[in-house]
Structure 1
Amino acid sequence: MSDIEELELRVAGRTVAGYALQPDIDPTNVPRPYLHPVRTLAGTVVTDVLPADHEWHLGAGMAIADVAGSNLWGGRSYVRGQGYTWLPDHGRIEHELWHRRSEGVLEHGLVWRGHDGAELLAEHRTITAEAGATAASWTLGFGTRLTNVRSTPVEIGSPATHGRGEGAGYGGFFWRLPPVEDMRVEARDPNTADRARGEDLVNGSALPELTVTARTRVRPDSGAEPGSAGGRRFTLAFTGMAGADRWFVRVAEYPAVGISFAFRHPLVLAPGSVLTRTFTVTLTDG
């Protein structure tokens, strides 16, 4: 894989994230801009790209399984009554123009195109990197504004809206973690005592904050025992849900966190309407 252009975000002189603007990847993986590698301040990489189990998972960024009948997620599409099926329905998300570009801000316009090349959505994306509240943390901001540029409604869907169960309502902001051990997830409402712990309870939850703690997996050639303290521990704290958004979480099958726009029901954007979200992820060592 090669990138036509590679960009970086920096905090206090340290590179904390790479941004692949126009990745040269298989069309079935839906070429699109994404963040990778994303690192803690100590240098621990907390994203993965093109993993063997789901090679269309690309770091951290935007991806949606069904946008007006086109696959903007990658891989097979879920068809009601048939299950996952390979279809010629893959679109792409393309960089269009820059608005701002510095070591702490990447702001640009993008076009979401369907499988036939038609423009489905226009996106204004702002990514920021700032120092955190502690010396061991920094905060990634990810703002997106999606506009329906068509003369007809655009329906956003997921495998769940097409009949798949198992809480498979993925699609929106998505973060694929690298191989980890001892991954724990907790969602909570800071204004109440409401909490949910573990994959089964957090997946599909609407609680506004989610925290992931994990330890990087020890390499087989490191000489350390699996599960030992040889891996680096880190914490990711996510916020930014709105409307009918829900958390999408996977721990047992693969490590990932998403904020999904159509977890149970389709989201319909009328012509000219705008979907605006601002996500934050605070990355902390230890």
Structure 2
Amino acid sequence: MRITHELGQWIGLTDDNGIERLRYDYASAPKPFIHPLRLPDGTTITEHEPADHTWHRGLWFAFKFVNGVNYWEERDEIFGYQHTTSTDLYEDSETMKEQCTEEEFEELRGGFMSVFHHNLDWKPSNSSDPILGERRALNMMFQEDVLRLHWCFNIYPQQDVTLDRTPFTTWGGYGGLFVRLRNDLENPRLVFDDGTVTTRCTGERYKWGGIEGTTPDGKDCAVVFLPSPENTRYPEPFYGAAKTDYNFFGPAPLFHEPIVLKKGEKITYLYTVLILPRRINPDEINTFL
């Protein structure tokens, strides 16, 4: 594998066959995101800025409201930005151990391949003062034909904060680590650890959940989220839909109620995300728990 870092812009992960399997863009939009996300044969499976939700970009992490400022949609007069202030790329475990804190190293070293760290300020568009600070880490590795991403989001409130969402009615409740898969998937479905298979999920709690489908040229694909048992409110609520023209899914820890934090009260979210070139086999997913 090979890592390309366009400083101040993005990192790319290329496999041994020369396929760029992902590009993590941390500068061109108000929120960092992964797009494209590709299968081993080069097929792109993520959607980027679709007309129905232009703020959906592949795979990304955000809460909707932080002290009332919208960090999700980018259409309010004042909305939130996640601004990267520094970056580090570790391509071997010894370098990472030298430069990371002991806590970060212990969180990320399992199955280590390559880790990208960056620090972010969450701040509203009308202010230079951050509401949240964040240290984000992305651990990337291949396990045969599975691309495995391990995310660590360490969030540090710079003031007393309320992390919130739009309460669910016929929509709402979302916020967290989400993926938007391409619009043209055939037979898209949501699959969960207890055997549930559905096309809609609105806050039910599971140990893991995934979205799957087939491209028009017959390529099966899936993205599976495995929240850590250390996360607040584990097993986490999930939210999403798998249907024609709209495949959107992820864990939504704020679905049922907001989270209130005091200044300096750190909160951490850990997720493993699996990108599969096939549909979901629960027995296979359970080997990653």
TM-score range, shorter chain: 0.7 to 0.9
Whichever residue aligns with residue 204 of structure 1, its letter is G
1:213 aligns to what?
212
1:113 aligns to what?
123
- Name the SS for the 1:195 alignment partner: coil
Which sections of structure 2, spanning at least 5 residues, go unmatched?
A: 1-6, 92-112, 279-289
Whichever residue aligns with residue 26 of structure 2, its letter is L
8 A contact 1:127–1:140 mirrored in 2: yes
Tell me which of 119, 138, 142 is aligned to 1:127. 138
Give the alignment of 1:143-154 within 5 angstroms: 143-150=152-159, 153-154=160-161
Counting aligned pairs with the same residue, the percent is 24
Q: CA deviation at 1:128?
A: 1.8
Whichever residue aligns with residue 21 of structure 1, its letter is Y
8 A contact 2:225–2:250 mirrored in 1: no
Give the alignment of 1:190-209 within 5 angstroms: 194-200=194-200, 202-209=201-208
Confirm whether residue 90 of structure 1 aligns to residue 90 of structure 2: no
Moved over 6 A (4+): none
- Name the SS for the 2:203 alignment partner: coil
Residues 56 and 249 of structure 1, relative CA distance in 2, 3 Å threshold = same
Q: Deviations over 1:11-69 (max 9, x none)?
A: 4464211011211x5xxxxx121111111222221211111110011111112211111
1:237 aligns to what?
224
Confirm whether residue 255 of structure 1 aligns to residue 247 of structure 2: yes
8 A contact 2:190–2:241 mirrored in 1: no
8 A contact 1:184–1:213 mirrored in 2: yes
CA distance in 1, matches of 2:148, 2:134: 22
How many residue pairs match? The answer is 243
Which sections of structure 1, spanning at least 5 residues, go unmatched?
A: 26-30, 77-86, 189-193, 219-229
Q: Deviations over 1:220-245 (max 9, x none)?
A: xxxxxxxxxx2311122210153223
Q: CA deviation at 1:114?
A: 1.9
- Name the SS for the 1:53 alignment partner: coil
8 A contact 2:225–2:251 mirrored in 1: no
1:79 aligns to what?
none
2:164 aligns to what?
157
Tell me which of 157, 171, 176 is aligned to 2:175. 171
Tell me which of 136, 141, 146 is aligned to 2:145. 136
CA distance in 1, matches of 2:164, 2:38: 31
8 A contact 1:99–1:109 mirrored in 2: no
2:191 aligns to what?
186
Confirm whether residue 19 of structure 1 aligns to residue 4 of structure 2: no
Whichever residue aligns with residue 99 of structure 1, its letter is D
2:69 aligns to what?
70
Q: CA deviation at 1:136?
A: 2.3
Q: CA deviation at 1:175?
A: 0.9
Q: TM-score, normalised by structure 1?
A: 0.78
8 A contact 1:62–1:174 mirrored in 2: yes
Q: CA deviation at 1:73?
A: 0.5
Q: TM-score, normalised by structure 2?
A: 0.77
Q: CA deviation at 1:4?
A: 6.3
8 A contact 1:37–1:47 mirrored in 2: yes
2:98 aligns to what?
none
CA distance in 2, matches of 1:175, 1:36: 10
1:9 aligns to what?
13
CA distance in 2, matches of 1:250, 1:92: 26
8 A contact 1:32–1:94 mirrored in 2: yes
CA distance in 2, matches of 1:158, 1:139: 28
